Amino acid sequence: MDRGYIKIWRKTLESEVFADPTLFKLWSYCLLKANHKSNFVSVDGIARPIKIEPGEFITGRYQLHKEFYPKKRKNNKSPLTLWRKLEILKNMRNLNIKTMSKCSIISIINWKDYQQNEQQMNITRTSREHHVNTNKNVKNVKNDKNKHLDYVFLKTEEHEKLIKDYGKDVIEKCIEELDNYIGAMPKKRNKYTDHNRVIRGWVIERVLEKKGITPKQPKSQYKEISICPKCGGVKEEGVCLSCV
């Protein structure tokens, strides 16, 4: 969300949207808020995280008003008036609104055709440059199946060792699952600091055991391993290797 760019077509100058300053600002806000990749978002009052696709974002009448008007001023429009402006964009076929009990999902129409391809390229490039400049020994894991991961970080040797121990398909599933989980739980992003150990714990407890996938190494080598409830690290024979 904080990297990349959106495209605004020059024909917008001739549109009804541009003729209304509030409507144009609201349309720009929607484009900037839209997700660039699939993700899971937690919403208060809803038990399970909601999956949000590219070109979508979650909001509500009062959340939209708060973000649209960060400073309180007398000439700010009311939450109801601003929401009606959003419905105008819906009637103009710029976006769709899916109303739920606790929130609404806003979907930009034709997002993939007008925005996604170039934006994905830009996000991947800037993300790669950032990680190379910050720490050449750590990488944001990317491969053919997991092209747009944002939250899982592994050292090159850790990634290679995981694949060697458990197989590429198994590790890709764990990495994607961990990335979605951390992305859906912003308050817990600092909890999992050693993603290598967390993934090893997940391989054993969540993927291998529950999905019945057979690892390359014998079960006797991982039978006594579990996850530490304090740091998310791996416990071997009851002892956490991270907390020792």
Q: For residue range 22-77, what is the model confidence (pLDDT) as tens digits? A: 999 999 999 999 988 888 888 888 878 889 999 999 999 999 999 999 998 889 99
Q: Could you tell me the pLDDT band of residue 240, with boundaries at 50, 70 and 90?
A: low
The percent of residues above 90 in pLDDT, for the chain, comes to 27
- Greatest mean pLDDT among 29-38, 214-223, 226-235 lies in 29-38
Task: Say yes or no to pLDDT of 140 above 60.
Answer: no
pTM > 0.95: yes or no = no
> Do 155 and 137 form a contact (C-beta atoms < 8 A)?
yes
Q: What is the structure's pLDDT at 108?
A: 93
Predicted pLDDT of residue 124 = 43
Instruction: Determine the pLDDT at residue 231.
Output: 60
pLDDT at 91: 93
At residue 20, the pLDDT reads 93
On average, the pLDDT of the chain sits at 75
154 close to 138: Cβ distance less than 8 angstroms? yes
Fold of 10-112: Arc Repressor Mutant, subunit A (1.10.10)
3-state secondary structure of 211: helix
CA distance 111 to 133: 31
Structure tokens at 172: 């890709």
Domain ranges of the chain: 10-112, 135-240
Instruction: Please give the share of the chain, as a percent, with pLDDT higher than 70.
Output: 65
Q: Between these two residues, 113 and 106, which has the higher pLDDT value?
A: 106
Q: What is the DSSP secondary structure assignment for residue 10, as one 8-state letter?
A: G
Computed over its alpha carbons, how large is the radius of gyration of the chain? 22
CB count, 10 Å around CB of 83? 20
- For 167, other C-beta atoms within 10 Å of its C-beta total 16
Mean pLDDT to the nearest integer, 4-21: 86
Which position has the higher pLDDT, 64 or 155? 64
Nearest to 184 by CA among 64, 55, 67, 35: 35
Least confident of 14-18, 23-27, 37-41, 110-114: 110-114
Greater confidence (190 vs 53) lies with: 53
Q: DSSP strand E in 19-164: where?
A: 39-41, 50-52, 56-59, 95-99, 104-108, 138-140, 153-155
- 175: nearest Cα among 164, 190, 163, 193: 163
**Phi–psi pair at 52, nearest 5 degrees:** -115, 125
